[in-house]
Structures are given as C-alpha cells and as structure tokens.
Homo-oligomer: A and B are copies of this chain.
Amino acid sequence: MTYCLALKLRDGLVFASDSRTTAGVDYISTYRKMHVFQPSSDRLLVVLTSGNLATTQEVLDNLRRDLAATEPTENLGTAAYVFEAARYVGQVLCTVVQHYASTLGGSVADLRATLIVGGQIRGQPPEIYLVYPEGNYVAATWETPYLQLGEFKYGKPILSRLAAGDLSLDDAARLALISFDAAMKSNLSVGPPLELAIYPQDAMEFSHQLALDADSALLRSVCRRWNEKLTQAFHALPKFDWERAGPAK
C-alpha cells in the first residue's frame, strides 16, 4: 500500500508521501511516490501516486514523453489550469489501464491506480485534485482542505480534527507528519522515507522539500513529542463518576 496526503491552505499547498511498495510481505521495496514537474517557470505541478506500480510508472513515463514531444501534444506544460492538468493526467491513467484491461479480458481491478495532481499555474490559484482510476477528479475545497491516497484511514482522525484552510503551511506540514506517524504505527505497508514538500502560493517553487528517513532527527522528535503529549492528554481525561466517589476499581 501507500499513504499520500495533500493539503490546500490559504497560503499554499503541502504534499506528503511515503515510500513503501509491497507485493506481499516478502517483497517490500522503496519507491518514491511524489513526482514533481516544472516544465516552465510559470508552473509547478506535483503528482502523488498510489495503486498498481506498473500502472503509475507507465503513467509517469507517458507524462514525461508528452513533455518531450516535438510535435504539439497536450502535456503538463500546455494546461492553462491545474484542473486541465488533472484531467489530462486522468486521461493518460485511463488509457494505460484500458490498454492492459483489454489484454486481461476486462478485469481491471489489479491495474487500478489513484493519483493526486496539484500545484499552481501562474495567474491561477493553487489547487489539488484527486484523480480516480476512471480518469475523473475531485478538488479539495475550503471546507475539505485535504485529499488522501492509499492507506488513508489510520491518518484521517487527526486530519478530521485539525485540518483547516487557515492553518499555516508549517502547521499543515507538522499535521501531515503526525498523520503519517499514525499510519506508519498501524500499518507496515506505509513506511519511510517520508517526502514532504511545502509550496507557498505564487512562489512557483517549494520553500522546503524534505525526505525523512526513519532515523531522521526531525521525524523522531516530532513523533516522540506527539506520543508524550498524547499520553499526557489521555491521563488528563475526565474520570468516571465512580472513580471520583471512591478508590479505583
């Protein structure tokens, strides 16, 4: 599996992804899932990938080939809006899946992949989109400021509580780290290095881009502090009536 997360804030975007790919518990590999495209200085686009690795690699190969094409071709450089980039990536994804699905007699379940496409094209606001295996997409909004891929459930409760469009970019990046901490603690199929990228609106470049190994001092200090504070919070919860009344049972 995989866990990827993108947040859309008032001040920009935050992207995060793990690097674990599994094909059974005896075949665990490291593949990065955050792919950055900057075909010209007026845009920065990020593709986060989950699902079938063969599918996502071929999608990325196609995106790069289209960018290098000498004849006029729709590509990540020609999109005028981020949603056009998302739609184009969705078409590429759908074409790859359909190609092999026809070989496999219509069964596409194992070939499926889901992507997040986000970034900014100058003159337009930053956006993030979840691109489905069918090629269509949904956007993050002010009310729903984050999108997730893959093994998303473990890391969702803390996002449900704290993710908000008016978080600072740094706070949103910290929130991403503790959401990943929950996912990594609960599921072996999510693992480091974690990639984390912070994009301030209109910058057309990341302000910070990190790859955090399991022994990263930053990751360890954030996760250790979080664990300590959660444990303290747990012990500060209100007592039951019967505990106040007498000795603990």
Contacts and interface: CB of A to CB of B under 8 A. Distances in A.
16 contacts: A154-B154, A154-B156, A154-B157, A157-B183, A161-B227, A162-B230, A168-B248, A170-B240, A170-B248, A170-B249, A173-B240, A174-B237, A208-B240, A208-B249, A218-B240, A230-B233
A238 interface: yes
A27 interface: no
Nearest to A208: B242
Contacts of A102: none
10 nearest A-B pairs in the assembled complex, by CB-CB distance: A229-B233, A153-B153, A157-B182, A160-B185, A221-B238, A156-B186, A174-B237, A157-B186, A154-B157, A207-B249
A249 B162 contact: no
Given A160-B185, A160-B186, A170 B226 contact: no
A175 B240 CA distance: 12
Interface of A: 153-158, 160-162, 168-171, 173-175, 178, 182-183, 185-186, 198, 200, 207-208, 218, 221-222, 225-227, 229-234, 236-243, 248-249
Nearest to A207: B249
A145 to B, nearest CB: 15
A231 to B, nearest CB: 7
A153 B233 contact: no
A221 B244 CA distance: 15
Contacts of A175: 234
B230 A158 contact: yes
A231 B161 CA distance: 8
Contacts of A238: 218, 221-222, 225
Contacts of A243: 170
A222 B185 CA distance: 24
A154 B234 CA distance: 17
B229 A161 contact: no
Identify the interface centre among A225, A236, A240: most chain B CB within 10 Å of its CB: A240
Contacts of A241: 218
Contacts of A183: 157
A241 to B, nearest CB: 8
Contacts of A155: 157
A109 B162 CA distance: 37
